Structure 1
């Protein structure tokens, strides 16, 4: 009986292009819908820039509009973030079509794409106009930033931040987009030395 190599096992479990694309598209659509729906509820039910206690100081709702980045940085340069988010979304779509065959990468990139599209929709469709729209933020957790100006965020922001951490972790552990895992140079050298040591013992003697 032949043993299945790690490479063949990885290839056997890899996703095809259609499956990877479906996972990314479905998760992105779910996150986008959740983000826009919660923003609609916030705009409909919350007073503007007035704190609403949900769970003491641990969680508050505070409806506001953000024309800049986190902490309202670069408020007058909204179009820059629209361009950056558009490029990021296109990169994820390109990677999904051409390279992503890993289930975990498809999940992470799908959730990340949904978060990007959630805020991008605000930049494109909301006031004051196309490409310079203000992002709707309404979640405040003051305990996360003691002694600092609180950062107000939304559902899309949560997925963007957590999935960027996920991307960093996948890169650190050497998980490639196709599902294979990159091994460290020391491991490769050790395997090469082992193969070199075994080769003379397993070779057939000459007659």
Structure 2
């Protein structure tokens, strides 16, 4: 830079290295690009999954020890009761003859979630997948550890609304996670944090 340029404040040309850094910073700040996704949201997924799983586990332990072999307990009259049911089928009592199949499906769901987590940059997706993971782990624990065991264990259900199947908190987490995934998909939000428009 000449003395005349210094006097009038003419900016010095950027060096190639500085120009590259500036371009990378602009890309990181631009939404919808690879650099704008921020940090992966695996911790959010794990916290939500752990909360859903532990809440399901604790409630099942309590209701089995306190309510099993007891009559139904009314919470909102006959509209909502607590009644312990051992369910060998899927959520809401469906398919009781397919216990091993549902156990395998739960294990596959957990594997798929682990695969998606590698490119997870969206908090809403992390919450949705965390709910699915926590619910799947909750019911899978019953399949593995409760009588008769060996992937054939009966899931503990205890929430009994009127005119509806008996279910548990793991079922609720799975349904809520599934609904959230449908909403996110309709809004065009992908797990990697990008938004697509059809």
> Which TM-score band (shorter chain)?
0.7 to 0.9
2:108 is aligned with 1:94: no
2:173 is aligned with 1:153: no
Equivalent of 1:9, from 28, 31, 46? 31
TM-score normalised over the length of structure 1: 0.77
Cα distance change on mapping 1:44 and 1:103 into 2, 3 Å: same
Number of the residue aligned with 2:142: 122
TM-score normalised over the length of structure 2: 0.80
Cα distance change on mapping 1:57 and 1:6 into 2, 3 Å: farther
Q: Gaps spanning 5+ residues in structure 1: where?
A: 185-207
Q: Residues of 1 paired with 2:166 and 2:195: CA distance?
A: 37
**Alpha-carbon deviations, 1:50-105, whole Å to 9, x = none?**
311012123200101000124533322210000000000110011002x2111111
Q: Residues of 2 paired with 1:132 and 1:47: CA distance?
A: 20
Is the CA contact 1:54–1:61 (under 8 Å) kept in the aligned structure 2?
yes
Is the CA contact 1:48–1:62 (under 8 Å) kept in the aligned structure 2?
no
Equivalent of 2:192, from 173, 178, 187? 178
Q: Gaps spanning 5+ residues in structure 2: where?
A: 1-25
**Alpha-carbon deviations, 1:125-173, whole Å to 9, x = none?**
111112111000000111xx3xxxx300001011111110111111111
Cα distance change on mapping 1:160 and 1:71 into 2, 3 Å: closer
Q: CA RMSD for the aligned pairs?
A: 2.2
Q: Which has the larger radius of gyration?
A: 2
Is the CA contact 1:123–1:134 (under 8 Å) kept in the aligned structure 2?
yes
Number of the residue aligned with 1:75: 96
**Alpha-carbon deviations, 1:161-189, whole Å to 9, x = none?**
111011111111111111111113xxxxx
